[in-house]
Each structure stands twice: as C-alpha cells, then as structure tokens.
Amino acid sequence: MRTILTVILALSIAIAFSQEDSIKKEKAAKEYNPITFASLAKSHGGFGSISAGYTQIQNIDAAMFGFQGGWIMGHNMGFGIFGNIFASDYNYINDKYISGGYGGLFIEPIIGPRFPVHLSFPISFGMGGATNFESYSNYENIDSEVNLTNSDMFFVVEPGVEIELNMTKFFRIAFGAYYRQTTDLMINGFDKDALTGLSGGVTLKFGKF
C-alpha cells in the first residue's frame, strides 16, 4: 500500500510540474505577440496583371508592355513586383529609336475596393536600362542596317492613378495615368531627361482581391 501511495504521489508531483511549465510557456507566448501589418488585416489575397500603354520619349511615340504580381492586404493595400518594357517609334529625322525596360517594387493603396468603380494610387520604384539604335540605309541597294550605339542604366520612380472596374470577383480592368521620373540618361541623340514623362495604359488584373 505504501508503495502504491508513493507512486501516486510521484505521478501527481510530475503532472503538477508539467502543467505549471505548460502554463508558463503559454503565458510567455501571449506576452510576446507583436502587432504586424499582416495581423491588422482581416483578409489577404493576391493578383497578377498584364498591361499595355502609350508614352512619348523625346516627342517620339512609344509603346509599353508590363506585368505585376502582388499581395493584397485587407482589400485596400497592395504590395509586389513589376516590370515594364518600352520601344519608341522610328525617328526619321535622325534615324534613331530607343528601347529598354525597368522593374522593381510597387505599393498600391486602393480606395473603395468593394464598389464596382473605384480608385487606386500605385507608386512604383526600381531601376532599368535603355539602348539607342541607329539605322543606316543604302539607297542604291535598297538595304539598311540597324546598329546598337550605346546604352545606359537609370533609376525610376513612377506614381500614378488608376480607375478600376470590378468585372467579376476575380477580374478587374484598370485605366491608368502615370508620371515616370528617371535619373539622367546618357544616350547619344537623346536628352538626359528623355525618359521622364507621362504615360497611360490599360491593365488586366486577375486574382483574389
């Protein structure tokens, strides 16, 4: 009998210590529970998009194409990555055109996302590169050559405003206007601020908003 009581007492003490240790760990976990951006949001989503747009590079028409991929926090704030490519029309005055691309990160506050028509204010920042091409024609043989002359890198900041339309629960169309600000560009035949300017475009967005 004494042996049984001793065993029961030992087990009771072990269980008590185990419960106390578990309570301490649970209390410590509750005490260190930092508030994060993710914890503030009641929902999370994500999206991918493709876009096409128009701009001018030193008064020369240029086409733009791009993509985005991002995370949406609480329906009204987006974060992610982006990439754009561009190519200008041929300049018959100096036989030159320019093309390139840039990419980086973006942040996008969204106002009234549950309404069928609402606004967003994307801000993109990153870096890219541009290349100047020259065309030489041989009129006797009706032939021409295209040569790469020089390239340069640049940093870019591009704020914008978009009107978004909720087409379905998982599909949006956005019509946007943007202002592209770049660092000085050192390319033959183009001004140092040739890439700085306005652009407009249409974006198709797919995802959980």
The answer to whether 83 touches 67, Cβ cutoff 8 Å, is yes
pLDDT tens-digit readout, 79-128: 999 999 999 987 665 667 899 999 999 999 999 999 999 999 999 999 99
What is this structure's pTM? 0.74
DSSP letters for 110-159: EESTTSSEEEE--EEEEEEEEEEEEEEEETTTTEEEEEEEEEEEEEEEEE
List, in sequence order, every residue forming a beta bridge with 199; answer none if it has no partner.
Answer: 55, 178
pLDDT tens-digit readout, 20-71: 555 555 665 556 566 565 665 677 899 999 999 999 998 899 999 999 999 9
pLDDT tens-digit readout, 163-209: 999 999 999 999 999 999 999 999 888 899 999 999 999 999 999 99
Give burial (CB, 10 Å; 0-12/13-18/19+) of 88: buried
Closest by Cα among 88, 121, 85 to 103: 85
The position carrying tokens 């890198």 is 153
CATH, domain range 34-208: 2.40.160.20
Q: CA 12, CA 60: separation in Å to the nearest integer?
A: 85
The answer to whether 127 touches 121, Cβ cutoff 8 Å, is no
Q: CA 28, CA 201: separation in Å to the nearest integer?
A: 52
